[in-house]
Amino acid sequence: MKIDMTVMPSGKRYEDTYGLYLDILKEVAESERVVVVNPPFCWIPLLHYFDAEVIGGQEFFEQDKWFDFCGIMDFKNRHLIEVLSTVRPELVDALWKSDMQWKIKFVLLKKKKEFFVTNNGSFHRPEVNSYIEELWKFVPEKKNVVLVPCAADKPYPSPLHKKVLSMMPEDFYLANVTGVLGVVPQDLWRLMPHYDSGIPNEWRLFQIARKYFSKFEHDKIVCYLDYYSVPLYHVFSSLKQLNNVVFVNDIKFYADYLDLLDEKLLCRLENSFNDNNFKSSCLNTVSEYFL
């Protein structure tokens, strides 16, 4: 199949034109042996990622002036595609749709155990989607859990995780909360991809954590967190489970990470396991801004 883009599609309104752009990208992603003639230069990386043959190119968008393809680039590098696709909204959209909606025909790239989360395109890459599928197959064996943040050092356990594990009662299990993977019970550490992310995604965490804790009710939930305490508060509030939750640290906006290995904070964590202290869940420390 041949698609000639020498004359770019145009609609009466911008949203019509945008829809025509997505129609072309969808056709390329879902079809085999596609040849695209004279696409905008900024589209070329994603077209190659969709396994299309590209002939020529043109400066149509302002962003096309930024692209110089004289050298050899690895258009099957997912990290590179995520970065280059951010220059245009239809490219960001098409990458997400190829991950989540379209019935793509091109061969998926080999999954990587380690990668960087650079932008929203990273949150739905095949490695992340595969982990989420495993999460919904998982059934926790215990009814009590300690929630801790993710850590840059992987594989787990990190020093913080080791410390918390050493303090936990036997009837608890440990789980990480993360804006990339949502919830990572310790039994799934071996399956999780080893990503590094500087992008907190509280809404994504809220969605996955809410589904997880609505699917699996717990008797006791101890949150040993900093800034992720805010979306978790709203998760348990929406599920009407706050009576089963203790927040060890204040529920508020954190401009920086807490030192969760600080002895005073660890002492508060240890005290939270005491049944007599569990009901004092620190909800009086919730900032009014988040209520």
Same domain, 154 and 266: yes
The number of CA neighbours under 13 Å toward the Cβ of 238 is: 13
> Given this model, what pLDDT does residue 106 score?
62
Same domain, 85 and 148: no
Q: Cα angle vertex 166, ends 164, 172, to 5°?
A: 70
270: domain CATH number? 3.40.50.10630
Q: Which residue has the tokens 């997880």?
A: 212
The dihedral of CA 286, 272, 229, 134: what is its sign?
negative
Same domain, 270 and 152: yes
> Given this model, what pLDDT does residue 276 score?
64
> Given this model, what pLDDT does residue 278 score?
61
Nearest alpha carbon to residue 264 among 209, 224, 216:
224
Q: Which residue has the tokens 């992340």?
A: 128
Same domain, 67 and 198: no
Q: Which domain holds residue 233?
A: 130-290
Q: Determine the residue type at 182.
A: G
Same domain, 141 and 256: yes
> Given this model, what pLDDT does residue 109 score?
62
Q: For every one of its 291 residues, what pLDDT tens digit does the chain have, with 9 covering 90 and above?
A: 999 999 999 988 999 999 999 999 999 999 988 999 999 999 999 999 999 999 999 999 999 998 876 555 677 788 889 999 999 999 999 999 999 999 887 655 667 788 888 888 888 888 899 999 999 999 999 999 999 998 888 889 999 999 999 999 999 999 999 999 999 999 999 999 998 887 778 999 999 999 999 999 999 999 999 889 999 999 999 999 999 999 999 998 888 888 999 999 999 999 988 766 665 554 445 544 444
Q: Which residue has the tokens 């006791």?
A: 220
Nearest alpha carbon to residue 245 among 270, 196, 278:
278
Same domain, 69 and 142: no
Same domain, 36 and 88: yes
Q: Determine the residue type at 256.
A: D
CA 233 vs. chain centroid, Å, equals 19
The dihedral of CA 133, 138, 143, 145: what is its sign?
negative
**What backbone phi and psi angles, to 5 degrees, belong to 117?**
-95, 110
- Asked if 122 contacts 116 with a C-beta cutoff of 8 angstroms, the reply is yes
- Asked if 218 contacts 244 with a C-beta cutoff of 8 angstroms, the reply is yes
> Given this model, what pLDDT does residue 284 score?
43
Within 8 A by CB and 6+ apart from 283, the residues are 242, 247, 251
Same domain, 70 and 134: no
Please give the DSSP secondary-structure letter assigned to residue 71: S
> Given this model, what pLDDT does residue 70 score?
53
Indicate whether 15 belongs to any domain. yes
- Asked if 155 contacts 189 with a C-beta cutoff of 8 angstroms, the reply is yes
Structural domain count of the chain = 2
- The residue ranges of DSSP E strands in the chain, in sequence order, are 2-4, 35-37, 53-55, 114-117, 144-149, 172-178, 182-185, 194-197, 220-223, 245-247
- Asked if 216 contacts 139 with a C-beta cutoff of 8 angstroms, the reply is yes
Same domain, 139 and 257: yes
Cα Rg of the chain (Å, integer): 23
Burial (CB count within 10 angstroms: exposed 0-12, middle 13-18, buried 19+), residue 30: middle
Indicate whether 118 belongs to any domain. no
Indicate whether 174 belongs to any domain. yes
> Given this model, what pLDDT does residue 199 score?
73
